[in-house]
Structure 1
Amino acid sequence: MGMSRLNVFALIIDQFRFLRHVGTGKAAVFVRIFLVAVGPVAGAISVWLGWQLNSVSELAAALGLLAGVFISAFALVFSLRLTLASRPTSNLRQRASRLMDESALTLLTAGLVAGADAIWVTVVSAANAPDTPVSVWPTAITVGLSALVAAYFLLAVRRLHVLYVDTFPPFWKVQQLAGGLGTAIEMEEAARRVSTRTGHQ
C-alpha cells in the first residue's frame, strides 16, 4: 500500500476515463486510440527512418520547463474548479465543471509525461559520450515520448478553448443565436445555447 503514493498510472487511467464527449457522456474513442498510438507510432517511424539526435541536453531543459508550466496551469484550473463548486448548480455550470475536470487531469498528465520525458532525456544525455550522436533506439524513445507530450499539450489547449467559449460565447455566436438582429440575450442563456450546439466536442 505504501507504494501507491508512487503509482502514477492511476492518474493516467483517471485522465483516460475522463476523455468523453461533454454533451453525451460517451467515450471519445478516437481520442483514446490516438493517445495510445501516437507514442509507439512516432517511435516506430523514428526507428524506420534511422533518426539520431545530435544532442538532447537542450531538450531536457525545455521539457523540464514545460512540465512546470503544465503543473502551474493545473493549479490555476483547480482553484477555479473549487470556486465553481461553491456556487449554485446549473446545466451550464455542470458542463463547465466537467470541462474543468478533464482540463485539469489532462494538464496534470501532460506535466507527468513531460517530466518523465525530461528525466529520460537527462539520463540519455549523461550516458551519451560528448559530440556523439544518440543511437537509434534512445532517439526513438525520445521521439515517442515527445510526440505524446505534444499530443497532451494540444488536447489541453483545445479543452480550455471549449471551456472558455462555452462560458463566454464570442460576440458572433451570440449574434447568430439572437437571430442576427442585435437582440440582447442573457450571457448564461447564450452560453447554454452554444454548449447545446457544441455538445459533441
Structure 2
Amino acid sequence: MSSPKWVQALSRLNVFGLLSDQFRFLTNLSSNRPAYFTRAVVLLVGPITFGISLHFHWRMESVGSLVGALGLIAGVFVSAFAVVFGLRVNIAARPTKVLERKSARLMDESALTLLAAGLLSGVDAMWLSVVSVSVPIDMVVSEIATAITVGLSSLVVVYFLLSIRRMHMLYTDTFLPFWKVQAAVHGPKPGRETSAAAVDARRNSAN
C-alpha cells in the first residue's frame, strides 16, 4: 500500500534523514564501532547549553549580525560539500585499494558532516531572522528565544569542529605528512635515554 501523495510530498522536506545518516557515521574508522563520546556530545550539547542559558538568564540584545554570519557559514558548508562530493565521484564505486577505501569512507563522512553543518547553520539563521522580526526595536530578546539560539549555535559549533577534523584526517591520510613518511621508512627515532650514541655525544660535548 503506497503512502498518500501529501505524505510523499512532505517527505521531500524531511531533513532528519540527513542528520540520522550523519549520526550513524560517527564511528571508529578501524573498528566501525560507535564513537559513544562524540555521539553523546552531539546529543547533549544543545540541551545542556539551553539549560545553562536559562539558568543564568541570558538575553541577547541584537541578532542582526548573527543572521548574516550564520547565513554565510551555511553557504560555506554547502560549497565545501559540493567540492567533497565532486572528489568522491572520482573514486570508483567499489574501490579495491586500502587507501581508496579509507579515503572513500572519510569522504562520505566529511560530505554528510558538512551538509549537516550547513543545514543547522541555515536553520539557526532562519530562527534568528524570525526572532529579529518579532522583537520590537529597543527591546532585548526573551530568555527562551536566547536559550534556543544558544542551543542551536552550540550545535553548529560542534558540527563545525567535526567538519574541520574530518577534512584534516582526509587530507593527512590521503597525502601523508613528511614526518609520517619518515617514521614509516626509518622507524621511530630513539629517545635521549635509549640512544647510546646520543649519550656518548653529550658526554664528549660536556668534556
Measure how far apart 1:84 and its partner are: 1.6
Structure 1's consecutive aligned runs of 4 or more residues displaced over 3 angstroms after TM superposition are: none
* TM-score normalized with structure 1 length: 0.87
Could you give the per-residue CA deviations for residues 116-157 of structure 1, whole angstroms, max 9, x where no partner exists? 000000000000011211111100000000000000000000
1:160 alignment partner, one of 167, 184, 206: 167
1:107 — aligned with what? 114
1:79 alignment partner, one of 61, 64, 86: 86
Measure how far apart 1:22 and its partner are: 1.1
Measure how far apart 1:89 and its partner are: 2.5
1:53 alignment partner, one of 54, 60, 74: 60
Higher relative contact order (CA 8 A, sep 6+): 1
1:118-197 equivalence runs, <5 A: 118-179=125-186
Measure how far apart 1:171 and its partner are: 0.4
| SS class of match (2:59) | coil
* TM-score normalized with structure 2 length: 0.85
In structure 1, how many angstroms separate the alpha carbons of the residues matched to 2:137 and 2:64? 11
In structure 1, how many angstroms separate the alpha carbons of the residues matched to 2:17 and 2:59? 33
In structure 1, how many angstroms separate the alpha carbons of the residues matched to 2:51 and 2:157? 17
2:27 — aligned with what? 20
Q: What is the percentage of aligned positions where both structures have the same residue?
A: 55
Q: Are 1:44 and 2:61 matched, yes or no?
A: no
Q: Which consecutive residues of structure 1, in runs of 5 or more, have no partner in the other structure?
A: 182-201
In structure 1, how many angstroms separate the alpha carbons of the residues matched to 2:176 and 2:41? 29
Amino acid at match of 1:75: A
In structure 2, how many angstroms separate the alpha carbons of the residues matched to 1:79 and 1:178? 33
In structure 2, how many angstroms separate the alpha carbons of the residues matched to 1:88 and 1:35? 31
Higher alpha-carbon Rg: 2
Could you give the per-residue CA deviations for residues 70-99 of structure 1, whole angstroms, max 9, x where no partner exists? 000000000000012268521111011000
Q: Which consecutive residues of structure 2, in runs of 5 or more, have no partner in the other structure?
A: 1-7, 189-207
In structure 2, how many angstroms separate the alpha carbons of the residues matched to 1:93 and 1:25? 17
In structure 2, how many angstroms separate the alpha carbons of the residues matched to 1:76 and 1:7? 24
Does the C-alpha gap of structure 1 residues 108 and 93 become closer, same or farther in structure 2, counting only changes over 3 Å? same
